[in-house]
Chains A and B, each alone.
Chain A
Amino acid sequence: MSAVATTPPEMKRGPRNIDDLIANVSASRLSTWSQCRLKFYFRYILGLHKPKSAALHVGSSVHAVLKFWNKARWRGEKSSLKQLHDVYSSSWGDEQEKQPVEWEAGEEDAERKVGWRLLETYFRESSIQPDEKPEGVEVTVEADLSRHGLPKLIGIIDLVRPGQSTGMGGRIVDFKSSGKTPDPEQAGHLNEIQTTSYSVLYRASTSKVESGIELHHLVKTKNPKLVVSTFEPATENQRTRLFRYLESYVSGLQRKDWIPSPGFQCAACEFYRDCRRWH
């Protein structure tokens, strides 16, 4: 394939070695691979790194507050709205320092308000009680799948809620912020790689079967809302599907198969221009 190199050097995260990418796989990497192999090539092999979007900035700051809130419950502490707002403000600043967003006039203030309104909605509507002690928070886990001839699966689970009774597996939770209300039926399909990966990771790290999986969507509509999609524990078929994705990932990387997958998702792809130059 031909060179794409139009991205300025300061935007490069650095290329990654194919062997390393094959050795450890995360759900997000696998999702990118299944979405578009050329996008994967730009992001992970070439290490092209585009400026952070406003939506991602809001999402990261919101995520930081939820992490704080979950950890506080673990310590048995109740968080006041003021405390949470302070965490939000400082996280907003940290994110901006780490990876600045090029805001337009007035945009930053507006987006900051959107994020905080999302959090207010979440704390008002969430079914998680202030005294619910998590089983795990932002926990890094891995599953050695070498017996299946597959790479090591790695991941970070946002939250594991306790099982309803002693000995029962916990409920795996992933927080998502989005601009659109998710379709309940499609949410399972679109997030299956992630949810099944988390199930495999959870079982490998605890020897327990999760009692369910929840996606908590914080939706940035005019009136923010919380939509929770709940799923049963991953089935054997879903696990096999995930393994097939992993198999395709490994063989595709070994073949250096970077063929693009044009579709509706291209409209929001940060590598659209790079893709158009590819041949």
Chain B
Amino acid sequence: MAIKLIANYAKRLGLPGYSSHQFSVSVETELHDVTDIAGESAKLYDTLQKAVDEQIQATGFVPPDTYGMNGASSDHRNGNGQTTNGNGHRPNGEGTPITSKQLDLIKKVCRENNVNKDEVERLSMDMFGIGVSKTNRMQASNLIDALFDQYGRKNGNGHRGKYQQQEQARA
């Protein structure tokens, strides 16, 4: 009966920008000398380690500092430090655009309180000097707060619960 020796060698290395990469090699071999498992194992370890070390030196894509920061990536910036889309146009007044959830919430508050769309646009212009669709996420968040301040916060809408909870936690 053949006796098998199964070995796996894995290595994970840190890379700049809080990233890492890893590589592992596995082999399954038949043991020729069952009395020397330790020797066979050591040979395999050495072989696998060399194989992994040789390959893992190729780091491939290494993310820039701002990778994953919702569009703040430096590779999306033009020479003026402004964020651009693929066509070289700024998608919004101030970068990271309002999310569809934020937009939906604004519409919901308007609907529930019979608020005219123009009123919200005016409020956004007063606060930020731009229309609702041009706001960034931070501005949209403040716009939602202003709407809640003006028209009251409906309990149970679920949208702001976590922040209220966090507010308590901060205290």
* Chain A interface (Cβ < 8 Å from any Cβ of B): 13, 24, 26, 28-29, 44, 56, 59-60, 71, 74-75, 135-141, 143-145, 147-148, 154-156, 160, 167, 200, 202-209, 236, 239-240, 243
Contacts and interface: CB of A to CB of B under 8 A. Distances in A.
B70 A137 contact: no
A205 to B, nearest CB: 4
Interface string B61-78: 000011111111000000
A139 B96 contact: no
Contact of B170 (A28, A136, A144, A148): A28
A205 B136 contact: yes
Contacts of A200: 69
Interface residues of B, number: 37
A196 to B, nearest CB: 13
Given A136-B138, A148-B18, A206-B94, A236 B72 contact: no
5 tightest A-B CB contacts, nearest first: A207-B95, A147-B68, A205-B138, A205-B137, A140-B163
A204 to B, nearest CB: 5
A236 B65 contact: yes
A206 B136 contact: yes
Nearest to A29: B169
A60 B171 contact: yes
Contacts of A56: 171
Contacts of A154: 162-163, 166
B161 to A, nearest CB: 11
Given A24-B162, A207-B69, 20 more contacts: A28-B169, A29-B169, A59-B171, A136-B141, A139-B138, A139-B145, A140-B145, A140-B160, A143-B69, A143-B70, A154-B163, A167-B82, A202-B138, A205-B70, A207-B71, A207-B83, A207-B136, A208-B95, A239-B18, A240-B18
B137 A156 contact: no
A156 B136 contact: no
A75 B126 contact: yes
B109 to A, nearest CB: 15
B127 interface: yes
A40 to B, nearest CB: 11
